[in-house]
C-alpha cells in the first residue's frame, strides 16, 4: 500500500509537493509576522535598516569617488 501523496514508486506527487511548500511558506510568514511584532524583532528591523542605510551611504561614496566628485 502506498502512502497518500506518493506514487507506488515512492515519488511524491505534484499535489503533495505543492501542499508541503504552501504549508511551509504559510508557517514561515506567520512566524515572521510574530517575530516582527516582538521587541527583539523590532530591534532587528532597526539594525537591518541602519545597516542598509550605511551600505547605501558607502555605495554613494564609492560612486562619487569614481566620478571624481569626492
Residue 58 lies in a domain: yes
- Which residues form the domain of 21? 14-67
The answer to whether the CB of 16 falls within 8 A of the CB of 6 is: yes
Residue 5 covered by a domain? no
Confidence of residue 69 (pLDDT cuts 50, 70, 90): confident
φ, ψ of residue 44 to 5 degrees: the values are -65, -45
**What's the confidence (pLDDT) of residue 29?**
95
Distance CA 28, CA 21 (A): 10
Which residues lie below 8 Å from residue 65, measured CB to CB, with a gap of 6+? Answer: none
- Report yes or no on 22 lying in a domain: yes
Residue 41 banded pLDDT, cuts 50, 70, 90: confident
Does the pLDDT of residue 67 top 70, yes or no? yes
**Domain tally, the chain:** 1
Question: 3-class SS at 21?
Answer: helix
Amino acid at each position: 500500500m502506498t502512502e497518500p501523496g506518493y506514487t507506488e514508486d515512492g515519488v511524491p506527487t505534484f499535489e503533495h509537493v505543492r501542499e508541503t511548500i504552501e504549508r511551509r511558506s504559510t508557517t514561515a510568514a506567520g512566524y515572521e509576522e510574530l517575530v516582527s511584532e516582538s521587541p527583539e524583532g523590532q530591534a532587528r528591523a532597526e539594525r537591518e535598516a541602519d545597516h542598509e542605510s550605511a551600505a547605501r551611504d558607502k555605495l554613494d561614496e564609492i560612486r562619487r569617488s569614481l566620478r571624481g566628485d569626492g
